[in-house]
Amino acid sequence: MKYSDSYSSKAPILIGFILLLPMLFVGCANLGPTSLKGERSNYNLAIQRTNDEQLLLNLIRLKYRDTPFFMEVSSVASQFSLSSNANVSATLQDSVKGLFGLGGSLAMTEKPTVTYAPLQGDKFIQRVLSPLPLQTVALLFHSGWSVERIFRLCFQRMNGLKNAPGASGPTPSLAPQYQDFANAVKILRKLQIQDAINLAYYESNGEPQLILDVYADDSNREEAEQLALALNLEPGKTRYVLTFSPVSQTTNQIRVVTRSLLGILFYLSQAVEVPSQDILQGKTTQTKTIEGEVFDWKKVTGDLLRVRSHNVKPETAPMNIFYRGTWFFIDDSDLSSKSTFSLLAQIFSLQAGKIKDNAPLLTLPIGQ
């Protein structure tokens, strides 16, 4: 009889413990999906934001002629550990059969490991110093980007038309030539909007080429004729070839010179608006015209990108960086600047690939 009473008093405790165990196991089973759902987007946002900040920071560095530097996030590993405990307590009294309580807790700990790799050596040459392959230009075109935006970033010369080639290095002291090039690519953009052209990558005897097709129904358009005249080509043709090494005395070939990624960064760094006191103190180069007047770089890059500066952190600009005691930022409502910055990020990513062609190894701009 005593054994029976002892067993019956412990039965609720055993039952409670058995009921508590499945709850703990359910917590363990949901750990993986729950952590993935919550943390993947957080890491995605953090890496994307820091990548943008790094690009913006290097644009500002180049404006001040400071050394650019890139740190790549090569891997992210995160471990989650779950600890649990359960307890059952009981109080036995003579007047009652027994009072019991259940208790338990779950604790999850995250241990992230982020690996950084500086961009240097062969990787630096491939991604930063090597001229952009023509295949990259074709990929960007077929990704839906404006041909005007692509050409202005990627090309510094096109059949004698100069797209501020000196801006592919440190800020030049003399105002650049750019207007004829800008007018030509604006015509190209009009043809693109009218769905009158196509751009395709092609190799002829190992030589990389871009084939610019003007559809037959559109070859007599006014814009097509204006483009041919601007580039010193024969009007009325339906195919033009963009190449690094054109055959002499041809009327349908366009000689092009592409920028390197560093050249694009230098070019876009002219869009950084530095504080007036930094200009007065000679911390940045002031470009001047032949007449000695200060040249406004907004004429070249103003409709592509604008990086503003303020001594107070902007509240409505998610893309910002603090450098040399000043906040630099891209306005959240400046869609053109955000588009150009996004295109720059895509070019940076594409340069990490294995796309190669026979472009000249390095083109040095004539400047300071």
pLDDT at 119: 73
- Give domain status of residue 200, yes or no: yes
Indicate whether 167 and 111 sit together in one domain: no
pTM of the complete model beyond 0.85: no
Indicate whether 99 and 215 sit together in one domain: no
- Give domain status of residue 244, yes or no: yes
CB-based contact 101:89 (threshold 8 Å): yes
Measured between alpha carbons, how far is 182 from 177 in angstroms, rounded to an integer? 10
Indicate whether 80 and 101 sit together in one domain: yes
pLDDT at 3: 47
Give 37-75 pLDDT, tens digit per residue.
556 777 778 888 888 999 999 999 999 999 999 887 777
Measured between alpha carbons, how far is 210 from 154 in angstroms, rounded to an integer? 13
Among 72, 94, 118, where does a domain finish?
A: 118
- Give domain status of residue 360, yes or no: no
Residues 6+ apart with CB under 8 A from 240: 211, 212, 214, 231, 233, 252, 253, 254
- Neighbouring CB atoms inside 10 A of 359's CB total 19
Helices 261-269 and 31-63 pack at an angle, to 10 degrees, of: 70
pLDDT at 81: 62
- Give domain status of residue 306, yes or no: yes
Indicate whether 30 and 84 sit together in one domain: yes
Indicate whether 26 and 175 sit together in one domain: no
- Give domain status of residue 355, yes or no: no
Number of domains in the chain: 2
Indicate whether 15 and 32 sit together in one domain: yes
Residue 131 burial by Cβ neighbours in a 10 Å radius (0-12, 13-18, 19+): buried
- For the chain, list residues with pLDDT below 50: 1-3, 7, 24, 358-368
Total count of residues recorded for the chain: 368
Cα-to-chain-centroid distance, residue 223? 32
pLDDT at 37: 59
Q: Are strands 197-204 and 161-162 parallel, antiparallel or unpaired?
A: unpaired
Element housing 3 (H / E): helix 2-29
Indicate whether 17 and 133 sit together in one domain: no
Measured between alpha carbons, how far is 188 from 147 in angstroms, rounded to an integer? 7
Locate tokens 């090494």: which residue?
245
Among 118, 147, 176, where does a domain finish?
A: 118
CB hemisphere CA count around 60 (13 angstroms) = 24
Indicate whether 320 and 228 sit together in one domain: yes
pLDDT at 368: 38
Among 67, 90, 118, where does a domain finish?
A: 118
Indicate whether 35 and 149 sit together in one domain: no
Indicate whether 98 and 202 sit together in one domain: no
CB-based contact 181:161 (threshold 8 Å): yes
- Give domain status of residue 194, yes or no: yes
DSSP code per residue over 29-75: HTHHHHHHHHHHHHHHHHHHHHHHHHHHHHHHHHHTTPPP--EEEEE
Indicate whether 171 and 266 sit together in one domain: yes
- Give domain status of residue 357, yes or no: no
Query: Which residues form the domain of 317?
Result: 125-350
Indicate whether 109 and 130 sit together in one domain: no
Q: Is the dihedral of CA 51, 56, 62, 64 positive or negative?
A: negative
pLDDT at 317: 86
- Give domain status of residue 365, yes or no: no
The DSSP symbol for 217 reads G
